[in-house]
């Protein structure tokens, strides 16, 4: 049976040298707990690697991530450097706004804040849907770069305006 693993409690009690998982420079008072569930967890303190396998589910505030495998690497100071994510990734970045990303694989680089999605990646927000060969989400700025982009984005209808004519007249055929 899979049991929830409170990662912040695990790191505080079992592996105190790893330190804070939040943004570099954050104090312990600013840390939002990270809850992790997985069928199996392996931690190698010397190598600075933690692996989670089997129906992995990670929750922190309004972020939820689901995948088959997650590998985290840590710096010598104990901060998370990278996350390697594999196997049917679904990440809900903002449940209230309905922003979800899906891919076969992803890499998060904490130093740059880049989440790189590959393997039929897709980003969905409401009725908007973007797909591509590779998608990069910049977590700090909200910027998205899609290579080989295709999708549907719902925008207000663009209507040209011509000087001296009301907006409705500019859209009529002559």
At 98-154, the pLDDT tens digits run 788 999 999 999 889 899 999 999 999 888 899 999 999 887 887 889 999 998 888
| Confidence grade of residue 159 (pLDDT, cut at 50, 70, 90) | low
- Whether 166 maps to a domain, the answer reads no
Per-residue pLDDT, 80? 86
| Confidence grade of residue 53 (pLDDT, cut at 50, 70, 90) | very high
Q: Which residues contact 45 (CB under 8 A, 6 or more apart)?
A: 15, 17
Lowest mean pLDDT among 32-36, 128-132, 155-159: 155-159
* pLDDT top residue among 148 and 161: 148
Per-residue pLDDT, 121? 96
Q: How many angstroms from the chain centroid is the CA of residue 111?
A: 14
CATH at residue 41: 2.60.450.10
Q: Which residues contact 133 (CB under 8 A, 6 or more apart)?
A: 118, 121, 147, 148
Find the domain containing 121 and state its range. Answer: 4-21+29-154
Q: Mean pLDDT over all residues of the chain?
A: 77
- Whether 160 maps to a domain, the answer reads no
Question: For the chain, what is the domain count?
Answer: 1
- Whether 174 maps to a domain, the answer reads no
């Amino acid at each position: 049976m899979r049991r929830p693993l409170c990662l912040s409690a695990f790191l505080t009690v079992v592996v105190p040298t790893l330190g804070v998982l939040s943004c570099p420079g954050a104090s312990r008072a600013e840390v939002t707990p990270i809850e992790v569930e997985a069928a199996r967890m392996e931690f190698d303190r010397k190598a600075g690697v933690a692996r989670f396998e089997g129906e992995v589910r990670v929750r922190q505030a309004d972020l939820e991530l689901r995948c088959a495998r997650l590998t985290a690497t840590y710096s010598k100071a104990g901060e998370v450097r990278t996350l390697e994510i594999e196997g049917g990734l679904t990440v809900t970045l903002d449940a209230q706004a309905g922003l979800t990303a899906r891919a076969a694989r992803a890499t998060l680089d904490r130093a740059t804040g880049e989440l790189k999605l590959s393997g039929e990646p897709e980003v969905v927000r409401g009725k908007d849907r973007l797909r591509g060969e590779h998608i990069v989400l910049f977590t700090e700025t909200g910027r998205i770069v899609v290579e080989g982009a295709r999708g549907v984005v719902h925008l207000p209808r663009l209507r040209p305006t011509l000087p001296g004519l009301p907006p409705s007249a500019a859209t009529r055929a002559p």
